[in-house]
């Protein structure tokens, strides 16, 4: 009994998120989850995931079991299609909100920036809720398929988001090599490289922003320095022909149902599972891109306003606010100081995620 | 798990077909992704999509996370890299440089003990 209790208290994932702003979004995900409309997920108290002060993620297995049971008896071709279309809409709306925030941010005053931050945060929270559900819903779908007598392999994505990223990264490598910048030379000379090469890497980063670790403060593809180092690690002294062959992505056996199939429960289950498996490859991208492309410009605007009131306020201090504080415009310097101190003292987290001392200022574009 | 002669065999799930041998290289923190040796067997707790560009240079994949429906399965299949998932505590079991065989059909990982 004691052993079972100890096991249930163990985190599902440790140290996944450290920044207070990002941590607070998990609370918003629990609030957003009931709007998804799934059975056994009718209030934020039913949400099966929780993030503690250390950034450790806990999954409540009893809530997962309740949701699993409810879903298995709820699935019909109609509910499965509803589940797919609702989920797809949430992802699409976040992409639109991200681009909208990026376009509008520079011209907004404080109140408008806060309003748009709230709108974007709500949409990020909803996709984040789907991200938590993705830890077990695909398995529920696979189980339902087995229960329905389906014996085909799972419908894994064709040319997934990660596969496309690999192709694009290899294309950048080849373009740099064509300008006589091997990965080794690029890393050695960066950022003092030919303007064409500097632009190539910069444009790549803009397009691929969103790919990276779940923790926003851990460097990812938005950071040219990260990309240059990754190019070196991935493609230095490799056989380019062999890489090309691997990136040709020879087709695996076709496992999805035919388009002319009558929408039986099995075809509907397979269609939805294919959708979730594709989402699984993009879940971090959606929210991370929303943060870097949409939220950061809004936070810059807000930080400029805070600085007029509090001269010592640093742009990166906004990362130590709770999203509710961002929306309300509440800033307490002492609270920020305490949170920042606690964050900077967590050397295990900083080392795990490769966060250097200048990282936060760089994220806000203020160094 | 069973020990035989100079090997130890660990059982997981076969996630991407094929067989590969090479030296283990573990990803334990963000910095480790910046020095992946070519031809190595990549050992991770979980493979996220942003790490996909590293896959074409490795020979095989060993992942701690247990489920078959995950990033590693999708990505390893696409790149044609043998992968075993669900090898619990793999990042601690396998030290960098140790010789591993990965069987992506059965999910078995064999560690060779070199005297």
Using CA coordinates, name the residue in chain B closest to A138.
B69
Pick from A157, A176, A147, A134: which is nearest to A280 by CA? A134
Single pTM value for the model: 0.92
The string over B7-22, giving b where at least 16 C-beta atoms fall within 10 Å of a residue's C-beta and e elsewhere, is eeebebbbbbbbebeb
Lowest model confidence (mean pLDDT) among A86-100, A113-127, A284-298, B70-84: B70-84
CB A90 within 8 Å of CB A127 = yes
- Around Cβ A43, how many Cβ atoms within 10 Å? 10
CA distance A33 to B82: 37
Q: Of B48, B73, B77, which has the smallest distance from its Cβ to A213's Cβ?
A: B48
Q: Which residues of B touch A (CB under 8 A)?
A: 29-31, 33-36, 38, 48-57, 67-71, 73-75, 77-81
Cα nearest neighbour of A348 on chain B: B29
Residue A267: its H or E element: helix A265-280
Q: Assign A250 a pLDDT band (cuts: 50, 70, 90).
A: low
Structure confidence at residue A5 (pLDDT) = 43
Question: A35-61 pLDDT, tens per residue?
Answer: 999 999 999 999 999 888 888 889 999
The whole-number pLDDT of residue A7 equals 46
pLDDT interval class at B5 (50, 70, 90): low
* B57: closest chain A residue by CA: A234
Structure confidence at residue B2 as a pLDDT band (50, 70, 90): very low
Is the confidence at residue A8, as pLDDT, over 90? no
Nearest CA among B44, B29, B30, B33 for reference residue B84: B44
Tokens of A66: 């309740």
The pLDDT of residue A255: 45
* B14-43: pLDDT as tens digits: 999 999 999 999 999 999 999 999 999 999
The DSSP line for A156-167 is PPSS-HHHHHHH
Note whether A170 contacts B78, CB cutoff 8 Å.
Answer: no
Residue A308, phi then psi, degrees to nearest 5: -65, -30
Among A45, A81, A96, A112, which residue's Cα sits nearest to residue A275? A81
CB contact under 8 A, B35 and A162: no
- C-beta atoms of B53 and A277 within 8 A: no
Residues of B marked as catalytic: 71
Residue A259: is its pLDDT beyond 70? no
The mean per-residue pLDDT over the stretch B59-83 comes to 90
Pair A24, A30: CB distance under 8 Å: no
Six token digits for residue A240 = 């380019």
Which pLDDT score, from 0 to 100, does residue B72 have? 86
Query: What is the overall mean pLDDT for chain A?
Result: 91
Confidence of residue B3 (pLDDT cuts 50, 70, 90): very low
State the average pLDDT over residues B49-69: 92
What are the strands, taking DSSP E only, across B1-115? 2-4, 7-11, 13-16, 19-26, 41-44, 60-63, 83-85, 99-103, 108-112
Query: 């090997």: which residue's tokens?
Result: B7
Q: What is the DSSP letter of A209?
A: B
Confidence class for position A9, pLDDT limits 50, 70, 90? low
Which tokens belong to A101? 């925030």
Task: Estimate to the nearest angstrom the gap between the alpha carbon of A84 and the chain centroid.
Answer: 19
How, if at all, do strands B19-26 and B41-44 pair?
parallel
pLDDT grade, residue B51 (50/70/90)? very high
Give the rounded percent of residues in chain A with a pLDDT score beyond 70.
93
Quick one: pLDDT at residue A4?
A: 44
């Amino acid at each position: 009994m004691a052993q079972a209790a100890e096991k249930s208290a163990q985190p599902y994932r440790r140290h996944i998120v450290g920044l207070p702003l990002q941590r607070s979004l998990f609370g918003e995900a629990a609030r957003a989850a009931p709007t998804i409309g799934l059975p056994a997920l009718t209030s934020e108290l039913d949400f099966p995931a929780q993030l503690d002060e250390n950034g450790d993620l806990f999954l409540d297995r009893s809530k997962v079991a309740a949701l699993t049971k409810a879903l298995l008896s709820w699935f019909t071709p109609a509910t499965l299609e509803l589940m797919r279309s609702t989920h797809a809409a949430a992802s699409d709306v976040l992409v639109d909100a991200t681009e909208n925030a990026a376009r509008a941010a520079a011209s907004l005053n404080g109140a408008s920036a806060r309003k748009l931050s709230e709108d974007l945060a709500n949409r990020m929270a909803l996709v984040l809720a789907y991200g938590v559900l993705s830890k077990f819903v695909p398995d529920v779908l696979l189980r339902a398929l087995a229960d329905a007598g389906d014996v085909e392999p799972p419908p894994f994505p064709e040319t997934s988001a990660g596969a496309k990223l690999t192709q694009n990264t290899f294309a950048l490598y080849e373009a740099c090599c064509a300008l006589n910048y091997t990965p080794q030379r690029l890393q050695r000379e960066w950022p003092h490289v030919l303007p064409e090469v500097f632009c190539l890497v910069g444009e790549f980063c803009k397009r691929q922003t969103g790919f990276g670790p779940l923790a926003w403060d851990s460097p990812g593809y938005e950071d040219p320095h990260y990309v240059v180092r990754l190019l070196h690690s991935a493609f230095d002294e490799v056989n380019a022909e062999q890489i090309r062959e691997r990136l040709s992505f020879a087709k695996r056996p076709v496992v999805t149902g035919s388009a002319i199939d009558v929408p039986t429960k099995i075809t509907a289950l397979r269609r939805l599972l294919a959708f979730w498996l594709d989402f699984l490859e993009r879940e971090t991208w959606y929210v991370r891109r929303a943060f870097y492309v949409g939220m950061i410009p809004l936070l810059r605007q807000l930080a400029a306003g805070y600085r007029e009131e509090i001269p010592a306020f640093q742009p990166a201090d906004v990362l130590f606010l709770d999203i509710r504080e961002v929306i309300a415009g509440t800033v307490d310097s002492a609270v920020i100081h305490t949170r920042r101190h606690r964050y900077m003292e967590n050397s295990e987290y900083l080392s795990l995620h490769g966060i250097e001392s200048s990282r936060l200022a760089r994220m806000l574009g203020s160094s | 798990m069973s020990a035989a002669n100079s090997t130890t065999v660990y059982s997981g799930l076969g996630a991407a077909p094929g067989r590969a041998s090479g030296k283990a290289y573990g990803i334990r923190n963000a910095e480790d992704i910046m020095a992946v040796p070519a031809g190595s067997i990549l050992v991770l707790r979980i493979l996220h999509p942003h790490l996909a560009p590293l896959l074409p240079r490795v020979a095989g994949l060993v992942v701690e996370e247990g489920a078959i429906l995950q990033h590693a399965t999708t990505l390893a299949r696409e790149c044609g890299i043998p992968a075993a998932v669900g090898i619990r505590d793999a990042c601690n079991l396998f030290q960098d440089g140790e010789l591993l065989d990965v069987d992506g059909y059965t999910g078995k990982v064999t560690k060779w003990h070199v005297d």
